[in-house]
Structure 1
Amino acid sequence: MNERRTWKLNGYVGVLLFVLLLVGGVWQLLMRHVLLAVVLWLIAVVLVSGVFVVQPNQAVAVVLFGTYLGSVRESGLWITVPFTWRRKVSLRVRNFNSAKLKVNDVRGNPVEIAAVVVFRVIDSAKALFDVEDYEKFVEIQSETALRHVASRYPYDTYQTGELSLRANPEEVAGELVRELEERLKVAGVEVLEARLTHLAYAPEIASAMLQRQQAEAIVAARERIVEGAVTMVQAAIRQLEKERFVELDEERKANMVNNLLVAITSDRAAAPVINTGSLY
């Protein structure tokens, strides 16, 4: 079902006609035309049953005996087909804050995650007639989509190019928006934004995962240090050989590489030992 426009007329015209019919009925009653007066009053009652008010940022769906006639989005006083059932739906932008959900990431680690979803209704017919309760539908589908997206990524990673929940919130939010749009279009709902508001390891593994994070961080830092140290040593040896500042054979070159690597990669400050020559 898709939203469409229904017939409507300015409500003030309807109210004016209602008053004129009432006055005309009273006049006919004074003229002792009772039947004509009753007819005019019945027409007035039928006419006023079609008068309704539309608030700003609101849509009113008009239903006649089970048939959807259309919707009115323009705010103001209107009159439409009499004896219709009219349901209102808000078109304002709204927020939905999900509860903290416990879900396993792609590596099987339990994490706590929550998000806020900003949405609005863009199709009143779908929102009212294609789902039972569109607000409840948004709530359930948002939590389902959040679980699904969270299970695709690791909580954290130190591998270059791999996305994670902690390091790439923008990419994760974009994936969440795309999945929500796919799930909520049946309800006539547009997703404007979705953001993670909470992300943490589950309490039962938080301590162990903190130690693991520290260990992985140390290993990653050591890899960078060793890589940088090797580059520095290579540059130093090339510079010495280029300027012929000192002639190094293979054994002395190996000793120099060893000493430089130890000095650069050590956690503590190096204590140099100066060779002043032999006694003889």
Structure 2
Amino acid sequence: MPVPEDPKDTERRKGPEGPAEPAAPGDGAGPRALVVRNRHDSIPMDLLFRGDTAELPKPTKTPGASAASVASSSASAQAGATKNTKKKRAHPDDRTAPVKDGRKPPAPPRPDRELAERRGPACSGWWALLVALLALGGAAWLIWSGGLVPARITDFLALPERPRNGLVAWQRAVVVGCGAVALFALGGLTRGRVGSAWTLSLFGRYRGSVRRTGLVWISPLMLRRRVDVRLRHWRSEPMTAVDAEGIELRVVVLVVWQVKDAARALLTVDDHQAYLREQVEAVTARVVSRLPADSFREPADDVPTLRDAEAVGDALGATLAAECRAVGIEVFSARPTRVEYAPEVAAAMQRRQLAAIDAKHRDTVLTSVLDAVDDTVRRLTERGLVTLDDYERKALVKDLTVAFYTARGSAVDTH
């Protein structure tokens, strides 16, 4: 049985679909939850203006359905929509969620697995040489059996004369085939050296690398590129950098490196040595900018500076190794051999350094003088050699301080 309502409210809320009824005051939809009813259906009004895509409950087709049950179904629909909205909301820590502009963050670059160095097709050159000799011997025997060898050669080699019958078609094909085999076998012979490797490619595709030494046979159809895989070192030119305080420096770095993956070193970049030089410059500028060149503050021992060559070298080596690993270069060490100020600021920084050294020296001398004065006055007083009041004690301390400080300063200047 429908809930009775005020006739004025009915007239004000009447629409094209029929009268609207308020929900019961005790249900979960609240006092503003309204229900639009017609002859066949009852639809909660708040669902007509929702922008949520949640599935709406089917309207009740019972004409006599109570407003309380319809309002409760509306409240449950709202709760379900809120739950679905919370499920669809991306977690702030989700790495796969798109960024503000709608694009996903770029993934870190990964080296192509096909460019990883692997063993290329090659064999010992002595086998190729043996095949070439056998092919040439077979072709020569067929030519001699057909009587096509000149008399001078047969006389020189002491071979019996053969009638000049010529070669039939299959013999000619065999001779041509033997010659092609000999050329193919001899054309692939090369010399492998210690500390170098061949990178092979066929029709633009990487086929493998060869690190064999001695006489080696590689298919002459493949394009061969040699790369040096020995342990090498490179000393950079003075590079411009700035320290943590923005002071311009000149840094020289010694890098010990080796080509670990010949395929990536040759095929990933145009010039792996130029790539290494550029990375050394970039990494040096980045690492040097983290620390000051010198510390003029006290205590200076607790402040890390660029004068700690071991710590700076470890940071340079680790960072450079991570940058060069993608191109097949293994960096064993990167040590700064010289860190100095730029010529424009060298004079000013030298004066600042001398002032800091002089201040530290004066502080050391003054500390030792004060210790000596304190010990002298204390010993004189404890042994009863003098009896001093406050005024006399201050005067004695002043005279002893001046005397000891003058003596220490003269001794230091003499040395």
**Normalised TM-score (structure 1):** 0.84
Change beyond 3 A, Cα 1:268–1:47: closer
5 Å matches for 1:125-164?
Answer: 125-158=263-296, 159-164=300-305
Q: How far 1:245 sits from its partner (Å)?
A: 5.1
Structure 1 residue 212 corresponds to structure 2 residue 326: no
Write the deviation string for residues 31-58 of structure 1: whole angstroms up to 9, x where unpaired.
Answer: 4210111122222333334332211111
In 2, Cα distance between equivalents of 1:73 and 1:194: 27
Q: How far 1:118 sits from its partner (Å)?
A: 2.5
Q: How far 1:143 sits from its partner (Å)?
A: 1.5
Query: Match of 1:278?
Result: none
Write the deviation string for residues 119-158 of structure 1: whole angstroms up to 9, x where unpaired.
Answer: 2212211211122211111111112222222222222224
Partner amino acid, structure 2, of 1:23: G
Change beyond 3 A, Cα 1:232–1:183: farther
Structure 1 residue 20 corresponds to structure 2 residue 134: yes
In 2, Cα distance between equivalents of 1:131 and 1:102: 25
Change beyond 3 A, Cα 1:120–1:174: same
Structure 1 window deviating more from structure 2 (49-58 vs 124-133): it is 49-58
Verify the 8 A CA contact 2:241 2:284 in the aligned structure 1.
Answer: no
In 2, Cα distance between equivalents of 1:20 and 1:54: 24
Structure 1 window deviating more from structure 2 (132-141 vs 204-213): it is 204-213
Q: Which has the higher strand share?
A: 1
Asked which structure has the greater RCO (Cα within 8 Å, sep 6+), the reply is 1
In 2, Cα distance between equivalents of 1:233 and 1:245: 16
Residues paired across the two proteins, number:
269
Query: Match of 1:42?
Result: 180
Write the deviation string for residues 215-245 of structure 1: whole angstroms up to 9, x where unpaired.
Answer: 1221222222233333344444554555555
In 2, Cα distance between equivalents of 1:269 and 1:46: 90
Change beyond 3 A, Cα 1:224–1:2: farther
Change beyond 3 A, Cα 1:178–1:233: farther
Of 303, 312, 317 in structure 2, the residue corresponding to residue 172 of structure 1 is 312
Q: How far 1:24 sits from its partner (Å)?
A: 1.2
Query: Match of 1:277?
Result: none
Q: CA RMSD in A?
A: 2.6
Change beyond 3 A, Cα 1:265–1:163: farther
In 1, Cα distance between equivalents of 2:314 and 2:305: 13
For structure 1, which runs of at least 5 residues remain unmatched after alignment?
A: 271-280
For structure 2, which runs of at least 5 residues remain unmatched after alignment?
A: 1-114, 147-166
Query: Match of 1:3?
Result: 117
Of 88, 96, 105 in structure 1, the residue corresponding to residue 226 of structure 2 is 88
Structure 1 residue 72 corresponds to structure 2 residue 213: no
5 Å matches for 1:167-206?
Answer: 167-206=307-346
Structure 1 window deviating more from structure 2 (82-91 vs 229-238): it is 229-238
What SS is found at the alignment partner of 2:304? coil
**Normalised TM-score (structure 2):** 0.58
